[in-house]
Structure 1
Amino acid sequence: MSDVSGVVRFEGHLGYHPTWICEACAEPWPCHTFRNIPTENFRDKLLPVMSFMLRTAIRDRREQAHGPEPYEIVKRFLWFLGLTDDEARASAATVR
């Protein structure tokens, strides 16, 4: 059983620094299974956790020759906010 900082508990589907690949299904994390967890009841707790991980994922990406662009990582990690590409780019620009 995995725990995302006390927010939600579920089997397996977590990704970790520096690869951000799901430990259960080997998809880019957050994977499809993780993104399908209903977020309505804990969105306020999920946002800071995912934002923290997002910053690390963008920094990890900067050290790789290939991979998603920072705004794509923002959209992937903050899927539950429904950001547009422009909003994701603006958010990614603030991550150092």
Structure 2
Amino acid sequence: MNEAKKVKIKLYGEETEILVEPNDSILQSAILNGLEPPFSCQISVCATCKAKLKQGKVSMDEREALTDEEIQNGWILTCQSHPLTDDVYIDYDEA
């Protein structure tokens, strides 16, 4: 990953598009852009930052707090997720 990727985030009923820089997680970038998504541990154990991936592809560094079934159903941990495509859309409101 060598360039910033666009990510659209639905949070508290509003949609915001941000750029996620290489090596930053979606959660880090959301916070840096003034959003206030739910989070706690930031190390993949609590699932507070869980969101539904509606579009696009991400890679997750760790996935401790999610079951295989949750991942198959599109759930991601935003503290561990990095966008792979420029069309990522995540929804915190479904969590």
TM over 0.5: no
- Give the structure-2-normalised TM-score: 0.27
Q: Which has the higher helix share?
A: 1
Structure exhibiting the larger radius of gyration computed from Cα positions: 1
Which structure ranks higher in relative contact order (CA pairs < 8 Å, sequence separation ≥ 6)? 2
